[in-house]
Chains A and B, each alone.
Chain A
Amino acid sequence: MLPGRILLAGLRRSASAASSVAQSPKNMCYWDRVIWSSRYFHSASDNAFSEGGSKAKELPDPFALIKDEVSEVTDRLRSMVVAEIPELTSTAGYFFRAGAEGKRTCPTVLLLMASAISTDMSDPIVGLENKPRARHMRVAEITEMIHISNLIHDDVLDNADTRRGMDSLNFTVGKKLAVLAGDFLLFRAFSAAVALDNTEVVSLLATAVNNLVTGELMQLTITPAQRCSMDYYLQKTYYKTAALISNSCKAVAVLSGQTTEVQDLAYQYGRHLGIAYQLIDDILDFTGTSASLGKASFSDINQGIVTAPILFAMEEFPQLREIVEQGFDDPSNVDVVLKYLQKSQGIERTRLLAAEHAKLAAAAIDDLPASEDPVVLSSRQALKDLTQKFLRRTK
């Protein structure tokens, strides 16, 4: 906690500065940065006090810390997907419209990571610091475009009618136009990546794209034996969910000119965060918004997708394996599996595994080179808080 008088002095200072510039780290002087970051820490303790001592400590919202810059990313994305013909612009920009942007987890994580590893935030006035930040924002934009392109294709493949609480793109304009929009976004992202003029970054992003496809393929062509394999499942999960964020985190580190150790730490954070996220997702598909089985969508298992909770249950009840191998075209199989799942420790063990990955992600942040800069510190804290937030989410 910062001494109260310094805090007060800073508050007066920033009030008198009366800056009309958006409050983001890149255009603040030192004291403003102290205030900005301390606001984050204080919000945490404020929440804890106001909610009463017995309640678990409320986390500050990591998303809130960086939301202005993320909004900048979204705005820029809208202009980046303008195509030669309006039909293409509207399909490609479908998920960038106001209200359709989703949580924007990818850009949030990436921009926080950029701040967390930064070693050159000392003098924001001299344009030097702004330049790297701009390039990081490009990475955030590119990653979001790749992510959306993947979502669009996934919806086509799954025949999904809804996404993010609204009609899916394929539901709105048909499969073909959706597929084309996805392709367009992918290559726009790729062009933007190439414009960064860093071959390693381009390579990382191309790898991520490749991994996304590989993951989907692993899902589509799974054999009965593979369906029962935890290793296969974890590999597929890495490809489908974690590969993009982990490679982009590394790309951010590469762009910052960080050492290979730091690059690897950034990568590890992304990887563990992604896997933890997916594991919780898998649980929620069974538990939904209630803590017990029976209120959720069960869309995974109904599509024949076997996830971690079931795989853990299979370890306890070997007889489950036979049913899983049969597949789930027969809906009675689904009921049988759910019964076993309820009896088993499947859900709990998955939660433990997710917590393990969350811990590893936080550990990666802790291993970053020490820094005194308040923005760096608060960004790192936010990244760690994000892992906890993912573990606790209920939808």
Chain B
Amino acid sequence: MSWRWALARRVATLAATGGGGGAQAQRLLPTSSAAAGTGLLGQHHMPLASQIRSKVVGCRGAALVSSRWLHDAQYQVRQDGASRPQEQQDPFELVADELSLLANRLRSMVAAEVPKLASAAEYFFKVGAEGKRFRPTVLLLMASALKFPLSESTEGGVLSILADKLRTRQQNIAEITEMIHVASLLHDDVLDDADTRRGVSSLNLIMGNKLSVLAGDFLLSRACVALAALGNTEVVSLMATAVEHLVTGETMQISTSREQRRSMEYYLQKTYYKTASLISNSCKAVAILAGHTAEVSMLACEYGRNLGLAFQLIDDVLDFTGTSASLGKGSLSDIRHGIITAPMLYAIEEFPQLQEVVDRGFDNPANIEIALDYLRKSRGIERTKELAREHADRAVKAIESLPDSDDEDVLTSRRALIDITERVITRTK
């Protein structure tokens, strides 16, 4: 969750400064260097051009450049004759070109009559967790994983045209999902009067606030138009449910009572609403657009749901541990904002006295230290990781339960989806 806060601050400054902070760009650099074949490729130097770009356009540009570079490098490697094992292939790479296409389409869709808004919204499309466009990648891979087999003889024929049309519609789902996701970020980080009253009511901040709300509204309304264009009632209702869940989850977070804040069940429900619902409903939408059965659509939904939950649980861990394995080196932004996540909830189960500490709130940094102490002593972090692993396994099982296929594309995509679950669990930022 910490990266969301970082991104939110940038919206406020973007309206005024029109640029990105260099320090934060560093934090959000992609892990592609860590992910694939650093051993073989040696020192990973980012090309100078992308360093400049990361200052101007934010890290998304850098990510694109570096991933492209990596792709070429991998290609080079394969050409050199070494038989690389299949797992080394970056799953995000499989759909990188398609993602560029989507990004361009999104950019023109977002090009409102008002340039100021377009730049604020566009900025977000360039950045995501680990610098990658997580959701669209998963959705496009899911679309591929669910492809019905096309026989060779129909190349260029009617069926192939229909397949292209379907792909476009599935891409639209990816775009819509991204629009909804970004809109929710923008709206979630609208400041309350309480915050502005602390004296931070500079014009920039207020402008950023207004622009946040409007930019979010704009994205949501465009999503409505795009959804209407798809003309599929079930899909629209899935995405509408997803939005409702996002709103519900955020409302739950703001307005939790003390009892609710202690409850693991409440926390998991809120987590589902806030993080997993969007990706699971859109995975399901992708399947439905393809005309799959209810069973298959449910499997797609299950994958998304479990992936989303695993992702958030690890996010919670990382907020404590950061890139090091040790506790307290993370940004601790959750706890500072009074958000009690899974590790802490597990720790409270082991040490009931921690509850009192939590109830006191965390305005006082000393209290944070005490809580971290308990957390260190407990198995909170481990149990959260275990739970994340459980969800990841369920996601994998969902993919494995999909109907058999011989199509190379389909199999590669399915492997990639499984690979993503692994990366989600093992990531360190």
Q: Which of the segments A97-105, A124-132, A205-213 contacts the partner chain?
A: A205-213
Is A218 an interface position by the 8 A CB rule?
yes
CB contacts between A and B, total, < 8 Å: 131
Is A113 an interface position by the 8 A CB rule?
no
User: Which applies to chain A's interface (DSSP): helix, strand, loop or mixed?
Assistant: helix
Assess whether A199 is in contact with B231, with CB atoms less than 8 Å apart. Answer: yes
Docked pose: A358 CA to B114 CA in angstroms:
31
B191 to chain A, nearest CB (A): 7
Assess whether A177 is in contact with B248, with CB atoms less than 8 Å apart. Answer: no
Docked pose: A168 CA to B251 CA in angstroms:
18
Which residues of A are found within 8 Å of B3, using beta-carbon distances? Answer: none
Give residues of chain A (153-194) contacting chain B, Cβ–Cβ below 8 Å. Answer: 153, 156-157, 170, 174-177, 179-184, 186-188, 190-191, 194
Assess whether B117 is in contact with A191, with CB atoms less than 8 Å apart. Answer: no
Q: Map CB proximity to A onto B194-231 as digits: 1 under 8 Å, 0 otherwise.
A: 10000000000000011101101110111011011101
Q: Map CB proximity to A onto B99-138 as digits: 1 under 8 Å, 0 otherwise.
A: 0000000000000111011000000000000000000000
Assess whether B217 is in contact with A153, with CB atoms less than 8 Å apart. Answer: yes
Is B415 an interface position by the 8 A CB rule?
no
Assess whether A218 is in contact with B224, with CB atoms less than 8 Å apart. Answer: no
Docked pose: A234 CA to B63 CA in angstroms:
44
Assess whether B112 is in contact with A217, with CB atoms less than 8 Å apart. Answer: yes
Is B236 an interface position by the 8 A CB rule?
yes
Is B247 an interface position by the 8 A CB rule?
yes
Q: Map CB proximity to A onto B242-256 as digits: 1 under 8 Å, 0 otherwise.
A: 011001101110110
Assess whether A190 is in contact with B240, with CB atoms less than 8 Å apart. Answer: yes
Q: Map CB proximity to B onto A1-43 as digits: 1 under 8 Å, 0 otherwise.
A: 0000000000000000000000000000000000000000000
Best-surrounded residue of B183, B244, B247, B248 (most CB of chain A within 10 A): B247
Assess whether A220 is in contact with B214, with CB atoms less than 8 Å apart. Answer: yes
Assess whether B248 is in contact with A194, with CB atoms less than 8 Å apart. Answer: no
**In the complex, residue of chain B having the shortest beta-carbon distance to the beta carbon of A192:** B240
Assess whether B254 is in contact with A176, with CB atoms less than 8 Å apart. Answer: yes
Number of interface residues of B (CB under 8 A): 44
Which residues of A are found within 8 Å of B229, using beta-carbon distances? Answer: 203
Docked pose: A203 CA to B240 CA in angstroms:
15
**In the complex, residue of chain B having the shortest beta-carbon distance to the beta carbon of A204:** B228
Assess whether B187 is in contact with A175, with CB atoms less than 8 Å apart. Answer: no
Docked pose: A216 CA to B244 CA in angstroms:
23
Assess whether A157 is in contact with B214, with CB atoms less than 8 Å apart. Answer: yes
Which residues of B are found within 8 Å of A194, using beta-carbon distances? Answer: 228, 233, 236-237, 240
20 A–B contacts, CB within 8 A, in A order: A84-B244, A87-B252, A88-B248, A176-B187, A176-B192, A177-B254, A180-B187, A180-B251, A183-B216, A186-B220, A188-B240, A190-B227, A190-B240, A191-B241, A205-B228, A206-B225, A207-B225, A217-B114, A220-B114, A220-B210
* A residues neighboring B (CB under 8 Å): 83-85, 87-88, 91, 153, 156-157, 170, 174-177, 179-184, 186-188, 190-191, 194-195, 197, 199, 202-203, 205-207, 209-210, 212-214, 216-218, 220-221
* B residues neighboring A (CB under 8 Å): 112-114, 116-117, 183, 187-188, 190-194, 209-211, 213-214, 216-218, 220-222, 224-225, 227-229, 231, 233, 236-237, 240-241, 243-244, 247-248, 250-252, 254-255
